[in-house]
Amino acid sequence: MKTRNVMKALTAALLLSSNAIAQLQISGNIKNDEGEAITGATVFVVGQNTGAITQSDGDFVIANLKNGTYQLKASFFGYETMSKTIVLEKNEVINFTMNSSFFMQEGIDVRAVRANKKTPTTYTNISSEDIEKLNYGQDLPYLLETTPSTVVTSDAGAGIGYTGVRIRGVDPSSTNVTVDGIPMNDGESQGVFWVNMPDFSSSIESMQVQRGVGTSTNGGGAFGASINIATNKLNQKPYAVIDNSGGSFNTIRNSVSAGTGMMNNMFTVDARLSRIKSDGYIDRASADLKSFFLSGAYHGEKSSLRVNVFSGKEKTYQAWYGTPESRIDGDEQRMIDYANRNGLSDAELNNLLNSGRTYNAYTYENETDNYQQDHYQLHYAYQFNKNWNMKVAAHYTRGLGYYENYETDDDFETYGFTPIVVNGDSINQMDLIRRRWLDNHFGGGIFNVNYNNFKGFEVVVGGGLNKYTGDHFGEVTWAEYIPADQRGDKYYNNSSTKYDGNVYTKANYQWKKFNFFADVQFRHIDYSFLGIDDVSGEISELNQNVVYNFFNPKGGLSYKLNTENSFYASYAIANREPVRRDFRENTLANRPSHETLYNLEAGYRLVKKKAFLNANVYHMLYDNQLIVTGEINDVGGSTRTNVEDSYRLGLELEGGYQILKKLGVTGNLSLSQNKIENFVEFIDSYDASFNPLPQTEINHGTTDLAFSPSVIAGLSINYAPVKGLRISLMNKYVGKQYLDNTSNEDRTLDAYFVSHLDISYSFNALGFEEITIGGKVNNLFNELYENNGYTFSYIVGGDRTQENFYYPQAGRNFMVRLLLKL
């Protein structure tokens, strides 16, 4: 009995000893106050030499701990250090949400115009890691190709040169773009010409795409989407990056970036220099692009001052004309008919017949577009206290350039020349070379003041005032016959001035699981231009001025069911002024009205450790939407016309799932109806001798909006079989699009499906922090497709002639990449 009791006592002692030395762990996750994972944050146990660093998903694990009381501290540069005390008796999960410190408040101008997880609107965030993976040198719109409801286009067919992006079918000029809160949209055309910002992707920290009206921002009103870009990435340590890529169509990109890191805990300097060259897929559609980015900053205890200077210079051979449908189809007889209808010369017909899908109508060796754009920005931020901070910024953009055309048998009167007599013959037509110039200046300032009581109430008051001036003029640099006293004269010359100011207030109030959002903006536009211009082939006097005052309210509600599930709904009103051509091609009596958009958004968000899902429905109801109808105005020009009733109604799904530790998928699906009610088409009519007749009107009833596919889908499969190796297959489907607003099946862009395969391997060696070798196969299955085009029609002797033009995209093509980080 004694022996048995002794054994029990020894067993109990051993069990107690085992429990006493049991190895426990603390695991968890660290995110910032926007809900984004923080990589590289340090979590350590105070008083002990143990801790962990968060991985790419923000997770950390501290193992081999005993029972006891511990104090954990989480720290990361740019964020306030946090601490938590825990009594450890079993394995515990501890999560941290870190608030940005003032060092990160340089981005408050971006936060002022961006949505976050509380904001009841529809958006997609794109991180610097995602941007770097996708960036092989194509223009920035191609980084957005995988986002919902998005279609990207390329005139040259390979994503370098003139490119564009349509979100929800909306014209690119209706998409608001800001860089660090500074508006990028051209003051008159209201578009963003990405070719003037080559390789800008290499200087971006993050992007956010808001679909619909979104939240108030600076610059032109978002009338379907906004793209907010942030460049102010703060690197604590010195770095250098050499990024080279090249491939099909003699494409090559060289980019070098470097930064000092934090010097004396106060100063940073970052720089990038890039060059991109490509022959393009379309014949002669070459691009020679150069750019740089330079940023210097002072980081004080409560203030910061940053100067950004960046520039882009482009020379591209024009590929704007498009390819006739007969050339796409390879129908020789229809090509000959097209040439006869449009007066092509024998040489031009030979070019058409023998060029294939890569046909380019331009053959003159210097049919080029030449433009340089320089940006200067000064950002100042100040932290009053924990609750209050502010940001002001001044900016100036200088743009200067021209495009050159060779014109055959052009009329003297177009250029103000009087007919001349040569060898007894009166000459009123000639071959010539002309340049059409744009010389513009854009400058102003923005501000925002931010308050957060950290008890559920946040408010932002912001705005900006900008001035745009643009000189538009044309000159004839050479002509077969030109009066000596008119050489070098400007055949048109007009100036424009536009003032654009706005103020907005945004407020969030959180009550229990509800968040209430309100956003009001007042915008003032004063636009005028004087001089003469070429309007529909005639020189006309222009003297116009227009003033708009827009009130753009927005409001919404979000409900957080739990840590994983939330719902939102919002309603917004936006107003937008017509673009330059709408004014330039109309008289005061025929000027179009401004457009108004009523936007309803409602959605659901699910965020889990291995999955996420965003689902939303939207209704965008337009009042006086401006579209092309073919109608001739009172000066003989065909311009955009207001239509009373049109709308977009859709469902968007976006999600992802980590199937296995090494295998994950992401995808999106957009289903929509995009309609005009009671659409009336106007067609030019001529008799058999081509004498003008009154326009023919056709009432089509309810039709589809042009360039608005009812189905857009994307699916990406990502596989990482071993450390450092990443294999991605990106697939994109875009449904049928109509070239005009008639819903005519003979004027469409066919649906297409393209896949891109990207393989990269990253490792460290030879003293480099990272070496990445990558290869990408674009259009893996060699789909022959077109993603953009245009059409026009006319009636002669009662018969309708239709001319369709398309922009063919490259078949299977390749890119390779070598990325070196020090």
To the nearest 10 degrees (0 to 180), the angle between helices 346-354 and 332-342 is: 150
Distance CA 699, CA 677 (A): 10
Task: Find out whether 457 and 508 touch, Cβ atoms under 8 Å.
Answer: yes
Q: What is the pLDDT of residue 14?
A: 44
Q: What is the pLDDT of residue 77?
A: 65
Distance CA 233, CA 210 (A): 21
| CATH code of domain 2-100 | 2.60.40.1120
Neighbours of 673 (CB within 10 A): 13
Domain ranges of the chain: 2-100, 110-230, 664-822
Task: Find out whether 574 and 211 touch, Cβ atoms under 8 Å.
Answer: no
Q: And the tokens for 550?
A: 């827009």
Distance CA 241, CA 96 (A): 32
Confidence of residue 19 (pLDDT cuts 50, 70, 90): very low
Confidence of residue 542 (pLDDT cuts 50, 70, 90): low
Q: What is the pLDDT of residue 634?
A: 47
Distance CA 270, CA 395 (A): 19
pLDDT at 15 over 80: no
pLDDT tens readout for residues 87-118? 888 898 999 988 776 545 555 566 677 788 88
Which pTM was predicted? 0.88
Average of per-residue pLDDT across 639-654: 92
Distance CA 311, CA 198 (A): 9
229-238, 279-288, 807-816: least confident range: 229-238
Gap between the terminal Cα atoms of the chain: 73
Average of per-residue pLDDT across 790-797: 90
Distance CA 211, CA 215 (A): 10
Q: Report the C-alpha dihedral over residues 458, 460, 461, 465, rounded to 10 degrees.
A: 180
Average of per-residue pLDDT across 432-438: 93
Task: Find out whether 606 and 564 touch, Cβ atoms under 8 Å.
Answer: yes
Q: What is the pLDDT of residue 101?
A: 65
The chain-wide mean pLDDT, for the chain, equals: 89
What is the 8-class DSSP label of residue 79? B
Average of per-residue pLDDT across 427-445: 92
- Name residue 422's beta-bridge partners: 425
pLDDT at 774 over 80: yes
Q: And the tokens for 454?
A: 């950290």
Average of per-residue pLDDT across 664-669: 95
Q: What is the pLDDT of residue 6?
A: 47
Strands (E), 563-662: 565-576, 595-607, 611-632, 638-660
Distance CA 458, CA 454 (A): 8
Q: Report the C-alpha dihedral over residues 36, 37, 42, 47, rounded to 10 degrees.
A: 80
Distance CA 232, CA 306 (A): 9
pLDDT at 815 over 90: yes
Average of per-residue pLDDT across 9-31: 64
Average of per-residue pLDDT across 791-799: 90
Q: What is the pLDDT of residue 210?
A: 93
Distance CA 142, CA 139 (A): 6
Q: Which element (helix H / strand E) includes 452?
A: strand 429-452
> What is the DSSP secondary-structure string of 457-471?
EEEEEEEEEEEEEEE
Q: What is the pLDDT of residue 58?
A: 86
Residue among 536, 535, 546 at smallest CA distance from 496: 546
pLDDT at 669 over 50: yes
Average of per-residue pLDDT across 18-32: 75
pLDDT at 208 over 60: yes
- Percent of the chain past pLDDT 90, that is, above it, reads 63
Distance CA 138, CA 809 (A): 14
What is the 8-class DSSP label of residue 709? -
pLDDT tens readout for residues 356-404? 999 999 999 999 999 999 999 999 999 998 899 999 999 999 999 999 9
Confidence of residue 526 (pLDDT cuts 50, 70, 90): very high
**Residues sharing a CB contact under 8 Å with residue 817, sequence separation 6 or more, in sequence order:** 136, 243, 244, 245, 760, 772, 773, 774, 775, 776
pLDDT at 450 over 80: yes
Question: What φ, ψ does residue 132 adopt, rounded to 5°?
Answer: -65, -40
Q: By CB neighbour count within 10 A (0-12 exposed, 13-18 middle, 19+ buried), where does 19 fall?
A: exposed
Residue where the block lists tokens 């740019």: 78
Average of per-residue pLDDT across 597-602: 96
The domain defined by 110-230 folds into Ferric Hydroxamate Uptake Protein; Chain A, domain 1 (2.170.130)
Q: And the tokens for 528?
A: 């005028």
